[in-house]
Amino acid sequence: MTDEVCVFGVFVPSILPCSIIAYVAVVVISRMLRAIGAYRYVWHRALFNLALFVCFLGASVFLFSKTHL
């Protein structure tokens, strides 16, 4: 992912759209987990949310990359 994305004439790193997608996914999943009460079984909520973000970021980078291994 070394490409850049042009957004209204401004070149931004290609990791930025992937991180925005990952953030939105984490917010949605976090609200769902809070609604069903799954956070009772999580030791540290902030670390759990960070791990979710890293997993979703890795998945979005993998899906949007041009070459897959």
Domain ranges of the chain: 4-64
- Taking residue 7's Cβ as centre, other Cβ atoms within 10 Å add up to 10
Q: For residue 7, what pLDDT is reported?
A: 82
- Taking residue 66's Cβ as centre, other Cβ atoms within 10 Å add up to 8
The pLDDT tens digits of the residues spanning 6-37 come to 888 888 898 888 999 999 999 999 999 999 99
Is residue 1 over pLDDT 70? no
Q: For residue 56, what pLDDT is reported?
A: 97
The pLDDT tens digits of the residues spanning 48-69 come to 999 999 999 999 999 888 766 5
